[in-house]
Structure 1
């Protein structure tokens, strides 16, 4: 079976706290707590699995939290092969208030040794023969080469596998220069990387297509078929954590389709992820309401 292969360079145990009102310097009573295996690529695989799309999640994990990630993915039925490494897996915390605003706290993760990074590369290389698309998502862990995802992009190209990369900073620039088929920064990440709001700046470096997340305003894209914007019909209330990962899952799932259809799917899946309580899932009711009402325009 061919799969969408996801690589999460820096996985995490995602913890979500729901509070009434977030006030710095005050004690808060947490109403609900949710924990699950996280990191952007794992969220992508979780969305794809939920949609019935074959996927395999790869990434390095270590320590007690690494065991928690394996157990959670196994319980959810998400196919995975997590590489045991010496570096301990990190934790991220999202505090969501009644207004739907999420405040995130993200640990950097333990340093990954060069040997463990090469073991991860070998694991990805082994699975490329059965991949329809390679997705590289999230930050690179301390110790990984800055062109780590770019190297995987080049290896995938050599195997005839298209790539979608969602990262930031120097790793984003390197992936674009390596010729990634799609790079998907958000607007702040685009500005940080190239000092511009223009997606074409990353295409000029070598990326075939650039899709920029605009939050509640949808996406802006520079593609081989032209430039487009895609907007949801209205703002969706909820937890935006994981909305970008749902968009990446949609872009991977629709590889080869017309760009307006790909962008419509990305915006609809992203909106449905906001309405879902946890990253890695979609709200089917919102998805049905939004999908045909996403507005895609050529710019």
Structure 2
């Protein structure tokens, strides 16, 4: 069973319209809402792939109850941690004309030290049954930047592999604790390393981690770059996909988590991550994937060996 932890879950609302008019009236062609947050999206993708998964999330207020009901309807196992603050909402505006997406992400309510301790305790209870622990998304206000590092240390003590998908100081602190895989995107990688060259940026981030941590960086339509103890590879998609890129990174994390659990070769893991990420862009909502596109892309993703920087 893969366990995902979403410290800052959300009720995601997605609007689809031809193009957004700034400072004017917009009439979406469709509006959809569902339980979200990065770790929840990862759990949803894994569930669609038939992988056993449990999501851990602090939930509060009416929005929290809505998320509980939505995940139950989707048959996604949930360990909910009751908290006082109302769970946040996020909004994504997808423009079908350009294929671009604009997100409005609330910070979320502040968490007390006791509430965070409950999240840590709920995660610890699941570790004996976990094949992989996925830590994904932003840390809410009130939680120390070392929050993910605390969970990484907990999992390492339980001998459970960890995949970390975070940003900023939480990413830096989490990487230093030694997760098995860390997956920044291009902007997150630049922010924590200050290095514009992808190869050097991956090497610099890997240099701040314990031995054995693999850095897998995603670059949108340009694919993924992985620096590991077993080798370095670049995975390139056959073409680009228009649509809602909001959940693309979460789909890639789901593929990498499955690969970490199964222990397959790195080139296969990267091929799977790129194909599944593209399939998420082609789907209308974050957490969904286009199965037909995924299956057609999987054999077409190119994976090349690259030399690490000297």
Measure how far apart 1:220 and its partner are: 1.1
Compute the RMSD of aligned alpha carbons. Answer: 0.8
Cα distance in 2 for partners of 1:7, 1:146 equals 15
- Pick from 280, 286, 296 the counterpart of residue 293 of structure 2: 286
Aligned to 1:237: 242
Once the two structures are TM-superposed, the CA of residue 113 in structure 1 deviates from its matched residue by: 0.6
How far apart are 1:227 and its partner, in Å? 1.5
The equivalent position to 1:226 in structure 2, one of 231, 235, 239, is 231
CA distance in 1, matches of 2:54, 2:295: 26
Q: Partners of 2:50 and 2:149 in 1: how far apart? A: 29
Ranges of 4+ aligned residues in structure 1 off by more than 3 Å: none
Structure 2 match to 1:145: 144
1:99-118 aligned at under 5 Å gives the runs 99-118=98-117
Match of 1:144, SS?
Answer: coil
Q: Is the deviation greater in 281-290 or in 33-42?
A: 281-290
2:266 pairs, out of 252, 259, 272, with 259
- More displaced stretch, 218-227 vs 181-190: 218-227
SS at match of 1:145: coil
Task: Give 1:1-299 correspondences, 5 Å limit.
Answer: 3-98=1-96, 99-196=98-195, 197=198, 198-206=201-209, 208-255=213-260, 256-299=263-306
1:220-250 CA distance string (max 9 Å, x none): 1111112211011010121111000000000
What 5-or-longer segments of structure 1 have no aligned partner? none
Within 1, Cα distance between the matches of 2:295 and 2:49? 13
Gapped regions of structure 2 (runs ≥ 5):
none
CA distance in 2, matches of 1:76, 1:294: 30
TM-score by length of 1: 0.98
Residue correspondences, number:
297
Q: Find the aligned partners of 1:24 and 1:201 in 2 and give their Cα distance.
A: 40
Shift, 1:262, TM fit: 0.7
SS at match of 2:32: strand
Shift of 1:31: 1.1
Give the distance between the partners of 2:88 and 2:289, measured in 1 at CA. Answer: 25
C-alpha displacement at 1:41, in angstroms? Answer: 0.2
